[in-house]
């Protein structure tokens, strides 16, 4: 095996690792902090994805998710929590609060309007 072949193999492995990370990696997991008002609040930045993209909350306690959309890319102009019947427009460069009380435990995916950007709400 010469150097050129080795470089190709290493580059291919790196690309495969990136694809796996992109689709399956949990980039950032955050447990909601409870405010004085008894609300579980998390700030989420929307920019080519959701950050954090895994949010852990407790069942039966009101949740406030502050989505700050830091872009104009049309992909992220809506966020949908299908399991909770929530669909909300996110104006660019503004914070949109989504408030509800999770009444069931489990892992619930939230997405953009096209089902491309994904995050996960874990209710314990
Ligand atoms: Cu999208």
What's the pLDDT tens digit per position in 52-111? Answer: 999 999 999 999 999 999 999 999 999 999 999 999 999 999 999 999 999 999 999 999
Distance CA 110, CA 113 (A): 10
Q: Give residue 97 CA to ligand 1 midpoint distance, Å.
A: 19
Q: Give residue 114 CA to ligand 1 midpoint distance, Å.
A: 4
pLDDT score recorded for residue 5? 85
Q: Give residue 116 CA to ligand 1 midpoint distance, Å.
A: 5
Residues measured by CB to lie within 5 Å of ligand 1, the ion = 75, 112, 114, 116
DSSP letters, the chain, are --HHHHHHHHHHHHHHHHHHHHHH----EEEPEEPTTS-EEEEEEESSSEES-EEEE-TTS-EEEEEEE----GGGSEEEEGGGTEEEE--TTSEEEEEE---S-EEEEEEETTS-SEEEEEE-
The structure's pTM equals 0.79
Q: Give residue 115 CA to ligand 1 midpoint distance, Å.
A: 6
pLDDT score recorded for residue 26? 56
């Amino acid at each position: 095996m010469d150097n050129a072949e080795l470089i190709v193999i290493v580059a291919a492995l790196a690309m495969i690792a990136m694809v796996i990370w992109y689709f399956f990696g949990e980039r950032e997991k955050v447990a909601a902090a409870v405010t004085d008002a008894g609300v579980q609040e998390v700030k989420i930045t929307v920019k080519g994805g959701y950050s954090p993209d895994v949010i852990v909350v407790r069942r039966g306690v009101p949740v406030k998710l502050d989505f700050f959309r830091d872009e104009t890319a049309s992909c992220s102009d809506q966020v949908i929590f299908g399991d909770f019947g929530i669909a909300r427009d996110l104006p660019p460069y503004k914070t949109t609060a989504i408030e509800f009380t999770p009444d069931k435990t489990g892992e619930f995916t939230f997405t953009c309007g096209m089902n491309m950007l994904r995050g996960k709400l874990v209710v314990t």
